């Protein structure tokens, strides 16, 4: 039940180490933004550092030239530019409230941006480890959704969403459309399923199915491992792979999970 996380942190490359420092040296769970960067640097991590690469700058320039499309805005104007953005057909806060409460379509409200998520623009890394005494730890690190709105925080630093562990039960890691998945805390669900007696395969499948019932177009996956090392994965919208290494294995083994 020890947790540390950082979000929207800039200028510091090693987010997972920063999160561990939050866990080990503060009584907080989550630090964000420039203050998270300041904390990480003050605790000895390298920075401030320019984290842009030639590839990322080229991708960003092409995106700007394409009118900042695709993006994660909705119900705003202008549609085909980089902003600033304003609510569509709403001139006051009162009208915005009225539109939101009375006119919004429920299915539109549930629409996700999963079309932005693919094997080619994803960099989430989630890892679980069981030590010789049976203690279980899990961590997740990601740059977040490509072309996200500045300030966006996805499921990566949210305990129970992208990662969760209980040494009495097991652990889970997740990846995919974090803006949707974080609404379900899928990794918490996986661990609780295993606590209730489900094997990892069924526990993972149940958590993914709960999301798919509400968001049939979402893309995502979870892995589950119990305290005895039994593992499995479940996914929706793509073919998912995860790897395993144990002391009795000569090398890492990759497992493929079909949707």
Cβ pair 144, 156 in contact under 8 A: yes
5-7 vs 30-32, strand pairing mode: parallel
Q: Which residues, 6+ apart, have CB-to-CB distance to 50 below 8 Å?
A: 11
63: left (phi over 0), alpha (psi -120 to 50) or beta: alpha
Which residues are part of the catalytic machinery? 124
CB atoms within 10 A of CB 186: 30
């Amino acid at each position: 039940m020890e947790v540390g996380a950082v979000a929207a942190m800039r200028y510091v490359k090693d987010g997972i180490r920063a999160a561990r420092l939050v866990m080990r040296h503060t009584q907080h769970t989550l630090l964000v933004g420039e203050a998270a960067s300041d904390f990480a640097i003050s605790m000895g991590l390298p920075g401030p550092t320019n984290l842009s690469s030639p590839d990322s700058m080229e991708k960003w320039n092409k995106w700007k030239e394409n009118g900042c499309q695709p993006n994660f805005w909705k119900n705003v104007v202008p549609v085909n530019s980089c902003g600033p953005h304003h609510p569509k057909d709403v001139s006051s806060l009162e009208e915005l409230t009225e539109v939101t409460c009375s006119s919004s379509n429920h299915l539109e409200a549930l629409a996700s941006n999963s079309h932005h998520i693919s094997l080619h623009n994803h960099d989430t890394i989630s890892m679980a480890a069981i030590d010789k005494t049976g203690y279980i730890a899990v961590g997740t690190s990601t740059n977040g959704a490509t072309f996200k709105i500045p300030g966006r925080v996805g499921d990566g630093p949210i305990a129970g969403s992208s990662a969760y562990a209980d040494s009495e039960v097991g652990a889970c890691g997740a990846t995919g459309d974090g803006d949707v998945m974080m609404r379900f805390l899928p990794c918490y669900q996986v661990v609780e399923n295993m606590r209730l007696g489900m094997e990892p395969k069924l526990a993972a499948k149940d958590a993914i199915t709960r999301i798919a019932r509400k968001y049939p177009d979402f893309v995502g996956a979870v892995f589950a491992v119990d305290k005895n090392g039994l593992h499995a994965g479940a996914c929706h919208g793509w073919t998912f792979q995860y790897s395993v290494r144990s002391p009795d294995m000569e090398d890492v083994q990759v497992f493929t999970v079909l949707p």
